[in-house]
Structure 1
Amino acid sequence: MKATDEQLQLAGNHLAELIEQQGLTLATAESCTGGWVAKVLTDRAGSSAYMMAGLVTYSNEAKQMILGVDPQVLGEHGAVSEPVVRQMVAGAIRATGADVAVAISGVAGPGGGSEEKPVGTVWFAWGSGPGHMKTSLQHFEGDREAVRRQAVLYALQGVTRFLEPL
């Protein structure tokens, strides 16, 4: 099922309002979503008040150079893994100075999947530092756009859930 533009906009606005209310800044570290989470959050006027940076680290090299992801962790677990998204969040916070970061790495398809990580497999992490981080593994259905849209929506909703108890 594809997430609609309206669903993305509503989720983005809800998250933006929450971040603004809490006086926080956010950075994104995106792979398979290609900057789409940052795009949704910056569609809203005044987004510079809460949006620190959107980092698209699609290649393993970019994950290493920009976010400081350990090459050994990438080699052992692959880019689509919990240890990598955890390091992506930590790296995004370190690189940008944001209060909170979200990381997404997955297999959007149509190729690139494996038996262990089929198309639609996406890892997420949200956090404000190494001691305060949540992760989630999701398996989405559909074509490349459907997987990416669902991942964007899930990421926005995940950051919202992460921040609500604060």
Structure 2
Amino acid sequence: MSAGAVLEAARARGVMLATAESCTGGLIMAALTAVPGSSDVVDRGFVTYSNAAKCQMLEVAQATLDAQGAVSEDVAREMAQGALVRSQAGLAVAVTGIAGPGGSEHKPEGRVCFGLADAEGVVTETLEFGAIGRDAVRAATVDHALAMVLRRLRA
């Protein structure tokens, strides 16, 4: 997925972007800001690797983390909403997952939950990339997050 295409679509819609990232550690924002001139549509990124950071920076509810765990669509939803509220952006994308190595029977390596928030609401989804290795999971997560943003901008 091309970060440049995402930025062009955001410009065409007049929408600023924000990210809320856990398992990618800022790689989505890095992809966007690697494109010259991105500052006209990129507002900010939140790297919230720990649960405490998710709560403090994005207002993710501790009750949600306790009930669902950090890798859940509910947490991705709250991360995306928090990034939208705490930024000047009109669209925010969030990711939380298990890049590996590791995981469990209930939350396997390669599971990533995505959230996308804008004025129309929030959508979430979960993808199972599998145990393809930490770097590959993170790269696939960035690509999918950018694709989600582009689809929403073009809708």
Same fold by TM-score greater than 0.5: yes
Structure 2 distance, partners of 1:97, 1:16, is 16
Structure 1 distance, partners of 2:55, 2:28, is 21
Structure 2 distance, partners of 1:163, 1:13, is 13
Structure 2 distance, partners of 1:134, 1:96, is 18
1:45 aligns with 2:36: yes
Aligned residue in 2 for 1:84: 75
Structure 2 distance, partners of 1:23, 1:92, is 18
CA contact (8 A) 2:81 2:122 kept: no
1:162 aligns with 2:140: no
Q: Report deviation, 1:97.
A: 2.3
**What is the aligned-residue identity percentage?**
44
Aligned residue in 2 for 1:140: 129
Question: Counterpart amino acid of 2:3?
Answer: G
1:123 aligns with 2:124: no
Q: Which secondary structure state, in structure 2, belongs to the residue aligned with residue 45 of structure 1? A: coil
Question: Counterpart amino acid of 1:16?
Answer: L
TM-score, length-normalised on structure 2?
0.96
CA contact (8 A) 1:134 1:162 kept: no
CA contact (8 A) 1:120 1:140 kept: yes
Structure 2 distance, partners of 1:74, 1:121, is 16
Root mean square deviation of aligned Cα = 1.0
Aligned residue in 2 for 1:108: 99
Structure 1 distance, partners of 2:59, 2:122, is 17
Q: Report deviation, 1:140.
A: 0.6
Count of aligned positions: 154
Structure 2 distance, partners of 1:145, 1:51, is 24
Question: Which deviates more from structure 2 when the two are superposed, residues 21-30 or residues 132-141?
Answer: 132-141
Q: Report deviation, 1:135.
A: 1.0
CA contact (8 A) 2:18 2:84 kept: yes
Q: Report deviation, 1:65.
A: 0.2
Alignment of 1:54-73 (within 5 A): 54-73=45-64
